[in-house]
Every structure is written in structure tokens, then in C-alpha cells.
């Protein structure tokens, strides 16, 4: 069975998924570039000391942000599942329950941050005396921004559940541009740059919250509060969030634990190189997640509707979108990493380049879990999934320690990370098979993993050929940006997709082009 048969029957849904995937990917690619440029402006506008104060103070507050992503994921899942059941009453109950849970959590976090958090700022952080007043102001503004980010969760989740990715793209683009404006303004302002910048971020958070509230309340009937006494629904939301939180904390522990090990065995210079690679990790991971974001709501709805065949086909479609786009982007990035880092940073060490390249490989490996995680989350049976997978992943830390103790180089931290995550992927597949009996492990390796390996070899080969036969310069950058990317697309069409899938993709592209031409021809002339 191929992805075309069911996707053809659901032509409108297929068009929506493809267009949303492309839209979200382009959005994330552009916003990533804008954000990287904004970082340079902020660092220049604030100066090293104020930038350090900003990141330190923000770090105290953003430790609570892990709850934000977990709650958002849980509420999006329950929204999409209820939509698959076509249960409007359930949608309204989920919205109201999520409002209650978020308000209670926000109040609790507010008291913790205003007590323990303030104690940390006053007594534990190293802040120059003359900048303490400014630090306290940005601390309070950071708390206000955190509250805004929590309050927007139910409304943003409704946008995702309704698959209105255009709305999400517009609002997130506005948010990014407002942050860029704040970064530009501080370079010319005559008042305190640090306070002005954080106030600009606070105003951005307020505007984004208002946009989500107004949009959701106007477009979606369920986004109107009612009293809910369904204790089971509260329990389900909190249980789902709790196990998702365990997964997030395990991932954070893996990164922070390896940072500490590198510091102990190799010192601050190597730790700084690892820190830079984690900045790349955050940016590229967001880019990867955006690729499958459009598939999440329809996959959850398909499971709720008990359309297992359609769910299975969406699973393979999302996997193939993900893996081939990752290869097309990753190989040129790895090849050009030294050039990219020299353009981005003032000083680049060989370890920074090595870590950055290995980070891209690590992200490609770990991002492969996304389609699997979506289906497991759709079932709601996530306890064993997170317990076994994340516990195994944390074995990376003792493995890293042993490697360093035995005298291996610092780059082996990524050997440990990539190896444990690859093995954990086998656990993910096993659990998916247990929960969805129609899932075929053999087909997964034959249809996804093997073609991905072949396409990766071909793309890497062309990149190596270009580097070996051209001199460093603009021509080489141009060729490395075009030839490996084209090789991936061409080889993916030949090796990665069967004849039915190729026909479907070509049909979708033709329809999109014809639609654009038709729209242009129908535009009134002035």
C-alpha cells in the first residue's frame, strides 16, 4: 500500500498538509536567519556585560519555560483528538480546563519566582552593583513575558488543531520582526539599552498574546470559557503533561550533563565551543520540528477517527518529507560550516567547527523520532514510551564520562550522544509496533531508512566531489549550496518514492503552479 491511495481520496487534506509543510519550513528558515542576525545586533547594542546580565536573568525565569512547551503539546494533542471525534462539547471542555490549569500554574510560578527567584538574583548571581536596579527591572519584565507566553497556549493550540498554519505564520513573523526592531533600536537609543530592549520584548509579548486571543475567539467557537467539572479530563491533561515533562527534563539533563563533563575534563574553552554548537542545535532543531508540524494535527485526528491505514500512510509521508529535507539541508551546511561560522562569529576555533558539524548529524538522528512520537502521543499511552526511551538516552552521560576517563577526545561526546539516540530509536519503533499492530518494522526500514542511507551517500559524494575539485570562494559556496541539494531531490524522487508517490507529488506541484497562474491572471489590472 502506498501513500497515494488514501491521500488522493482526501485531496483537500493532502493539499493542506503539503502547503502547510512548505509554508512552515520556509517560515522557520527565514525566521532562523532573522534571529541569528538579531543576536548580533543585540550583542553589539548591549555590550558584553549587559548581554551577560540579560542572559543570566532570563535564564532564571526561562527555567520555568519547560512547563510552557509541555502544556502546549498536551493541549494541542487533546484539541486535535477531540476534533477527530467531531466532539464540539469536548473541545469547549478542553479549552476551559486548559485555562484553569494554566492560571493555577501561572499563579504558583509567580509566587516562586517572586520569592525564590528574587533570592537567587539578589544573593547567588554575580551582577555589578551599579546594574542591580536594571537587573531587577528586567527580571520583573521577564516574569511578565513568561506569564504572556503561558496565557497564549490555549489560543495557539486551537490554531494548530484547526491547521491554520497561515495564521500561525503571520503572528510568529510579526513577533520576529518586532524583536528585530527592538534589537535595531537599542543601537541608536540614548537611554539604558538593556532596559529598553527588554521593555521592547515585553511589548512584543503583549501584542502577540492579544493577536492570538482575538484571532482564536473570532474564528473558533470552542474558545469561550465555561465552567468544567470533568475531573477525569483534568487528570488526563496533567498525566500527559507530566510524562511529557519527564521527556523534556531528560533532554535538558543530557545537554547540561555533557556540558558539565566537558568543563570538568577539558576546561572552559571546549565548553564554550559546545555552547555555541548548542545554539546551532536550538535553531536547527526548530527548523526540523517545523517540517512535521503540519502533519501533527491530521495524524492525531486520523487516530481518533480510527483510520489506521490513513494514519500509517501519513506516518510514511511525514518520515519521507523529514528525512529528505534534512539531508538536502544538512550536507551543504556541514560542508560550509567553517565559512558559516566565520561569517557569524568573530573568532572560530577548530573545535567549534567540529562540534557544529557533529551537532547537525545529532539533530538529524534525533529528529527522526518526531513522526513516531506524534502517533504515540495520539494514543495517549506515553508513560512507557518516555520512561524507557528517555531513561536509555540518559545512558549517554556515563558513556561520555567513561570515554573521557579513558582518554578519548572531546568530540567523542557526540559519538556518545548520537549512538545512544540511534539505539533509543529502536526502542521507539518497538513501542510503536506494540501500540499500532498494523505498523510494519520491515517496511519502515525498507521504505524509509534504506532509501535515506542511499540518498545520503549520493548527496555526500557530490558535496565531496565539489570540495575536492574547486577552490574555496564564492563559486564553491554556490556549487555546494546547489548541487548537493539538487542531488538529494533527484535521488529522493528516484530511490525514495515509489511510482504512485512520485505521481502524487508531481500532481500536487502542477496544481500549485496552475493555481498560482490562475490567481495571477484573475487579478484586476490597475
The percent of the chain in helix, strand and coil, each rounded to the nearest 5, is: 85, 0, 15
Distance between CA atoms of residues 449 and 442, nearest Å: 10
For every one of its 526 residues, what pLDDT tens digit does the chain have, with 9 covering 90 and above?
Answer: 444 444 444 555 666 666 666 677 677 777 777 777 787 787 778 776 777 777 777 766 766 767 777 888 788 888 888 877 777 788 888 888 888 888 988 899 889 888 888 888 888 777 788 888 888 888 899 899 989 989 998 898 888 888 787 888 889 889 888 988 988 888 887 788 888 888 999 999 999 999 999 999 998 888 888 887 778 888 888 888 777 777 777 877 788 788 888 888 888 678 778 877 887 887 777 777 777 777 888 888 888 888 888 888 788 888 888 888 889 889 998 988 888 888 777 678 888 899 999 999 999 898 888 899 889 988 888 888 888 998 898 899 999 999 999 988 889 999 999 999 999 999 999 999 998 888 889 999 988 999 999 999 999 999 999 888 888 878 888 888 888 888 988 888 888 877 766 665 666 555 545 544 554 444 444 3
pLDDT of the residue at 525: 41
pLDDT at 507: 60
Q: Which residues contact 244 (CB under 8 A, 6 or more apart)?
A: 70, 73, 74, 377, 382, 386
What is the reported pLDDT for 526? 33
Q: What is the tens place of the pLDDT at every residue in 365-407? A: 988 888 998 899 888 888 888 889 988 988 999 999 999 999 8
- Per residue in 422-464, pLDDT (tens digit) is 999 999 999 999 988 888 899 999 889 999 999 999 999 999 9
Contact criterion met (CB below 8 Å) for 351 and 270 = yes
pLDDT on residue 438: 86
Among 295, 341, 320, 287, CA closest to 443: 320
Q: How far apart are CA 350 and CA 320, in angstroms?
A: 33
**Distance between CA atoms of 442 and 438, rounded to whole angstroms?**
12
The C-alpha cell at 297 is 494535527
How crowded is the C-beta side of 319, counted as CA atoms within 13 Å? 27
- What pLDDT was estimated at residue 249? 76
CA-CA-CA-CA torsion sign (159, 162, 163, 166): negative
Buried b (16+ CB within 10 A) or exposed e, 266-291: beeebbebbebbbebbebbbebbebb
Q: Work out the widest C-alpha separation in the chain, in whole angstroms.
A: 74
Q: Is the dihedral of CA 157, 160, 166, 169 positive or negative?
A: positive
b/e sequence 304-335, b meaning 16+ C-beta within 10 Å: beebeebbbbbbbbbbbbbbbbbbbbbbbbbb
Amino acid at each position: 500500500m502506498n501513500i497515494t491511495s488514501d491521500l488522493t481520496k482526501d485531496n483537500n487534506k493532502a493539499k493542506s498538509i503539503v502547503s502547510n509543510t512548505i509554508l512552515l519550513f520556509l517560515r522557520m528558515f527565514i525566521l532562523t536567519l532573522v534571529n541569528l542576525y538579531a543576536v548580533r545586533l543585540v550583542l553589539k547594542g548591549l555590550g558584553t556585560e549587559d548581554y551577560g546580565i540579560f542572559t543570566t536573568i532570563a535564564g532564571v525565569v526561562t527555567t520555568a519555560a519547560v512547563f510552557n512547551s509541555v502544556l502546549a503539546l498536551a493541549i494541542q494533542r487533546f484539541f486535535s483528538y477531540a476534533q477527530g471525534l467531531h466532539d464540539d462539547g469536548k473541545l469547549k471542555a478542553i479549552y476551559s480546563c486548559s485555562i484553569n490549569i494554566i492560571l493555577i500554574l501561572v499563579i504558583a510560578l509567580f509566587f516562586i519566582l517572586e520569592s525564590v527567584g528574587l533570592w537567587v538574583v539578589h544573593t547567588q548571581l554575580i551582577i555589578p552593583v551599579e546594574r542591580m536596579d536594571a537587573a531587577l527591572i528586567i527580571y520583573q519584565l521577564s516574569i511578565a513575558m513568561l506569564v504572556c507566553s503561558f496565557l497564549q497556549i490555549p489560543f495557539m493550540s486551537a490554531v494548530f488543531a484547526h491547521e491554520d498554519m497561515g495564521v500561525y505564520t503571520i503572528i510568529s513573523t510579526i513577533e520576529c520582526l518586532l524583536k528585530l526592531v527592538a534589537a535595531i533600536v537599542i543601537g541608536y537609543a540614548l537611554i539604558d539599552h538593556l532596559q529598553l530592549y527588554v521593555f521592547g520584548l515585553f511589548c512584543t509579548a503583549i501584542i502577540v498574546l492579544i493577536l492570538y486571543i482575538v484571532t482564536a475567539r473570532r474564528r473558533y467557537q470552542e474558545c469561550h470559557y465555561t465552567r468544567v467539572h470533568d475531573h477525569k479530563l483534568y487528570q488526563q491533561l496533567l498525566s500527559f503533561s507530566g510524562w511529557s515533562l519527564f521527556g523534556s527534563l531528560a533532554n535538558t539533563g543530557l545537554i547540561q550533563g555533557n556540558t558539565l563533563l566537558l568543563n570538568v575534563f577539558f576546561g572552559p574553552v571546549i565548553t564554550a565551543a559546545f555552547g555555541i554548537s548548542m545554539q546551532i542545535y536550538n535553531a536547527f532543531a526548530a527548523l526540523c520540528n517545523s517540517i512535521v508540524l503540519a502533519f501533527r494535527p491530521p495524524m492525531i485526528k486520523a487516530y481518533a477517527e480510527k483510520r489506521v491505514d490513513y494514519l500509517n500512510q501519513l506516518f510514511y509521508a511525514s518520515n519521507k518529507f523529514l528525512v529528505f529535507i534534512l539531508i538536502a539541508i544538512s550536507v551543504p551546511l556541514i560542508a560550509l560550516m567553517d565559512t558559516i561560522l566565520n561569517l557569524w562569529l568573530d573568532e572560530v576555533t577548530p573545535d567549534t567547527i567540529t562540534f557544529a558539524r557533529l551537532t547537525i548529524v545529532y539533530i538529524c538522528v534525533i529528529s527522526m523520532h518526531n513522526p513516531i512520537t506524534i502517533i504515540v502521543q495520539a494514543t495517549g499511552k506515553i508513560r512507557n514510551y518516555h520512561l524507557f526511551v528517555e531513561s536509555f538516552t540518559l545512558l549517554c552521560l556515563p558513556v561520555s564520562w567513561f570515554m573521557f576517563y579513558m582518554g578519548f577526545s572531546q568530540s567523542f561526546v557526540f559519538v556518545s550522544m548520537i549512538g545512544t539516540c540511534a539505539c533509543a530509536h529502536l526502542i521507539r519503533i518497538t513501542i510503536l509496533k506494540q501500540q499500532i499492530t498494523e505498523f510494519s518494522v520491515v517496511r519502515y526500514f525498507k521504505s524509509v531508512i534504506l532509501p535515506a542511507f542511499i540518498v545520503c551517500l549520493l548527496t555526500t559524494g557530490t558535496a565531496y566531489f565539489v570540495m575536492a575539485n574547486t577552490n574555496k570562494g564564492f563559486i564553491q559556496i554556490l556549487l555546494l549550496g546547489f548541487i548537493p541539494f539538487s542531488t538529494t531531490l533527484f535521488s529522493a524522487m528516484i530511490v525514495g518514492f515509489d511510482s504512485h508517490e512520485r505521481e502524487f507529488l508531481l500532481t500536487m506541484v502542477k496544481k500549485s503552479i496552475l493555481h498560482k497562474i490562475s490567481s495571477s491572471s484573475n487579478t484586476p489590472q490597475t
